[in-house]
Amino acid sequence: MAATPPPPRPRWSWENSGPMRWIRRHMGYSRGEAKGMVGLLVVMLAAIVAPILLRPAAPVYLPAADQKGLDELAAQLKEHRTAEQGYASRFPKRNFEKYPAGNSRYPKVAQVRLAPFDPNSLTAEGWEARGVPHFVAARIVKYREAAGGFEAKTQVQKMYGLEDSVFQRLAPFMQLPDAAPRRGERPDYATTKPGPDGKYPPFAAATPGKYPSKPRNLQPFDLNTADTTQLMQIRGIGAGRAKWVVRYRNQLGGYLREDQLDEVFVLRDAPDLRDSLKKYTFVAASFAPKLVNVNTASFDELYLHPYIGKPRARIIVAYRQQHGPYKQVEDLKQIPILKAEDWEKMRPYVRCE
């Protein structure tokens, strides 16, 4: 009888290995749980070890190569600087030795003894001869030619760069008044021409001023009929402010109250001028302002009125197109954005036909 062969030995697998059996026996994991735990441990180990193994090698610094490059660059710059020597020859250094003043940039002017002189006829060299620096003397002459002459010593004192000590030394010898004359006495330099010698006449020989004094006893006049010339008779009202008063009157259609002068742009920050205008002007009781027809006026005609403006003009035209012509002026109160105070200001200047 033949012998029975021994049973085949089971093939080895990591599932039946010692660690797996130990985990399943001591932790109570099933076969699948044990496999998952071992796989997780392997992944964690790989994540820790992989960066260390795959880290690139640190570069090796070779200072000799950089030093060689720097030496080559320095040699090139030295050659370039040597080749551009012609650049310096185009800008030679100033030779200050030719001036008697030594290191001064300008030749020294001989000083003269102080005596009465006319600042309107003195040259730049004359100012220098009296102790004024070169650049300040040229500035004084340039300003005098542009302004047409000096009116007072205070103008010379305000020259930039002129030291007060120098001015105080020269002021007693200047043939000019200490302060500027009043407007009525101001000379008209616009019509003053230089003489045959090219110099302007002295202050005393100037022609009478073109600024006539304003009347002191001014009679009140109608604000709606006055022109700019009549408005300029009021003290403090010049040509610019007078034009603004007339311009705002034309935009309104006429003033109904003197208080409307407070709305003029150039008079908002000048309460004293507004008081002067109200004192010497009046509005006639029978005056009728120019009215704007809200049924026929276009948007461009409406928004030019100071009391309407673009937003209200746009709503007035849109409401008229949607609901038809206005039957009476009070229908404008139905506009939502029209406030009560705006309506009161607008009411005397609009009509409905």
Could you read off the pLDDT of 260-297 as tens digits, one per residue? 888 888 888 888 888 888 888 888 888 888 888 888 88
Alpha-carbon gap, residue 10 to 291, rounded angstroms: 118
Give the pLDDT band of residue 209 (cuts 50, 70, 90).
very low
Give the pLDDT band of residue 15 (cuts 50, 70, 90).
low
Give the pLDDT band of residue 83 (cuts 50, 70, 90).
low
How confident is the model at residue 53, as a pLDDT?
82
How confident is the model at residue 5, as a pLDDT?
67
Alpha-carbon gap, residue 333 to 353, rounded angstroms: 17
Residues 126-134 have a mean pLDDT of 90
How confident is the model at residue 99, as a pLDDT?
46
How confident is the model at residue 179, as a pLDDT?
79
How confident is the model at residue 177, as a pLDDT?
87
When comparing pLDDT for 236 and 90, which is higher? 236
Q: Which is nearest to 189 in space by CA: 197, 181, 50?
A: 181
Alpha-carbon gap, residue 127 to 161, rounded angstroms: 13
How confident is the model at residue 206, as a pLDDT?
43
Q: Which is nearest to 203 in space by CA: 155, 160, 137, 158?
A: 155
Q: Could you tell me what percent of the chain has a pLDDT over 90?
A: 2
Mean pLDDT score across all residues of the chain: 78
Architecture of domain 292-351: Orthogonal Bundle (1.10)
**Residues 92-110 pLDDT 10s:** 555 544 444 444 556 678 8
How confident is the model at residue 3, as a pLDDT?
61
Contact 118, 175 (CB under 8 A): yes
Question: What is the distance, to the nearest Å, from the Cα of residue 181 to the centroid of all Cα atoms in its chain?
Answer: 36
Alpha-carbon gap, residue 15 to 34, rounded angstroms: 9
List the alpha helices (DSSP H) in 55-157: 63-83, 86-89, 124-129, 134-147, 153-157
Per-position DSSP letters for 6-21, written without gaps between them: PPPPPPP-GGGSHHHH
When comparing pLDDT for 18 and 296, which is higher? 296
How confident is the model at residue 273, as a pLDDT?
86
Name which of 11-15, 52-56, 218-222 the model is least confident about: 11-15
Give the pLDDT band of residue 316 (cuts 50, 70, 90).
confident
When comparing pLDDT for 147 and 188, which is higher? 147
Contact 263, 238 (CB under 8 A): no
Alpha-carbon gap, residue 302 to 300, rounded angstroms: 6
Q: pTM of the full predicted structure? A: 0.42
The amino acid at 52 = I
By 3-state DSSP, what share of the chain in percent is helix, strand and coil, each rounded to 5?
A: 50, 5, 45
